[in-house]
Structure 1
Amino acid sequence: MFLDAELESLQASKARLSMQTDLRRQVIRLEVLALGSRTRRALSGVRLGVGLAGKVLDFLRTRHKP
């Protein structure tokens, strides 16, 4: 009887650990996806800024020529 109770306790602990591990894996996956999304947005903003700076420089060059 003692060993049966010990076995059930170990199985319950194993099930809890498995569930916790799965939840942590899902949280990490979501965090990685969010990080990728933030990085893409930041790079998109930089790309737009560089494009705008190029257009401003082109405008100033054509305006400055006699």
Structure 2
Amino acid sequence: NPVDVLSEREFEVFMSLAKGKTTNEIAETLFLSPRTVGTHLYNIKQKLNANNSAEIALIAMRSGLIDP
């Protein structure tokens, strides 16, 4: 599973983004600053070789983590 390379916190951010939440919504929900969420998103994109949020959602769907 490609998401196995993510840390626990990165996985939380990944799932929130895949479900359509914005950076600010993720920050509020996970009690992080938007800048910290941005750092996690950068790391997630690097680790999963994703270019944008749509690709992250596609990875989540293909991994069976969210419904299409």
TM-score by length of 1: 0.26
Normalized per residue, which structure has more helix? Answer: 1
* TM-score normalised by length of structure 2: 0.25
Greater relative contact order structure (CA < 8 Å, 6+ sep):
2
Higher CA-based Rg:
1
